[in-house]
Copies of this chain bind each other. A is one copy, B any other.
């Protein structure tokens, strides 16, 4: 087995997601050396030397604020030490294999290209369940939202998720109750050509969280993917959820927020999507619904308003086929009339007829214009001549 893979597997258990000093170590020395150092394999001289190298004041490498150093290397070694004895990456790899899964690393072809955009915040590896290769970022859309969704939100998220899978887009979400779960569920009801759905979890992919979604997540694992940056057995915790959101945003070409309160985890996913230069879309709803307040906030901040799957697909494939079409509206009888004809039509009485002279006064047109307009309108079945003069044909306009 490739030592780099094993090192990444071990580090994913040793470090919390985005551990600042851990991220620096991997960046500077690669996974294998980082593991050796993190497990206490460096003597005090080497630690001092590394600390100097990693001195954040002198550090010019590209790193985002989220991985700004948290303490010194010796402090980090103290932080990691309690977990060192528990590392058993080969066992974790056996466990994931037993669940029909695998470890996917940046060295693999199926590594989702969108994760590169995370730079230093890219995950060390992904623990994946599901048979197919991971879908590419360009054909994936995140559909996320409140846990305490309304019937409206559930309905819209279902319609959008199903519509996306129908046209070959994979629905990425977080497996939570409410909008997330409904998006996965609806995606699974479609028989589209691609992987229907991916659930990115905040704990191990062998942990079904929330427990009420055990059946749903098993089905996602069978027909789509369960994905996590944490190893099997890892429990989901609040800060892991917040960091998980960056993966949902990075693995998707667009993030659609269906329902969200003014403060909502879904908004953090949307913010990450913006930072990554991804499309962010929000579904409008009642101004009286607290569950739409976050979506309206996003719309005010520049998110694209989407009301159906076609409009989401348009964001992914702007120049492609399947663009949202104008809803068919019945043609109206006066569509396409010239201004003069419209003015004559408007001047025509509905009941008793009116003569050309009177129509000219009412319409503000010459008698010649009225006469030629009446000719065209009667050809179109919009005007008729009666004993009392010209009148509009009932029900025509």
Contacts and interface: CB of A to CB of B under 8 A. Distances in A.
A361 B82 contact: yes
Nearest to A300: B305
Interface in A263-298: 263, 283-288, 292-293, 295-296
Contacts of A283: 287
Nearest to A357: B82
Given A82-B366, A263-B329, A364-B15, A346 B287 contact: no
Contacts of A300: 304-306, 311
A219 interface: no
A181 to B, nearest CB: 20
Nearest to A326: B262
Nearest to A328: B262
Contact of A238 (B263, B346, B367): B346
Contacts of A262: 326-327, 329
Nearest to A304: B300
A339 B21 CA distance: 14
Interface centre among A293, A334, A343 (most CB of B within 10 A): A343
Interface in A184-229: none
Copy number in the complex reads 2
Contacts of A148: none
A253 B15 CA distance: 55
Interface centre among A19, A70, A357 (most CB of B within 10 A): A70
Interface in A13-29: 14-16, 19
A282 B329 CA distance: 21
Contacts of A75: 366, 369
A82 B305 contact: no
Given A307-B296, A329-B263, A346-B239, A286 B287 contact: no
Contacts of A238: 334, 342, 345-346
Nearest to A292: B284
A60 interface: no
Given A343-B16, A367-B82, A296 B305 contact: yes
Nearest to A22: B364
A308 B287 contact: yes
A276 B234 CA distance: 58
A79 B296 contact: no
A152 B286 contact: yes
A342 B285 contact: no
A368 interface: yes
A366 B81 contact: yes
A123 to B, nearest CB: 15
A156 interface: yes
A86 interface: yes
B287 A364 contact: no
Interface in A41-75: 70, 75
Contacts of A83: 361, 364
Contacts of A3: none
Interface centre among A327, A340, A345, A357 (most CB of B within 10 A): A327
A360 interface: yes
A147 to B, nearest CB: 15
Given A82-B361, A305-B284, A239 B342 contact: yes
A78 interface: yes
5 contacts: A239-B339, A283-B287, A284-B285, A300-B304, A300-B306
Which 10 residue pairs of A and B lie closest in terms of their CB atoms, listed nearest first? A284-B284, A78-B366, A299-B305, A287-B307, A237-B346, A82-B360, A16-B364, A79-B366, A82-B361, A238-B346
Given A78-B369, A235-B362, 6 more contacts: A78-B367, A238-B334, A239-B339, A239-B343, A263-B329, A284-B295
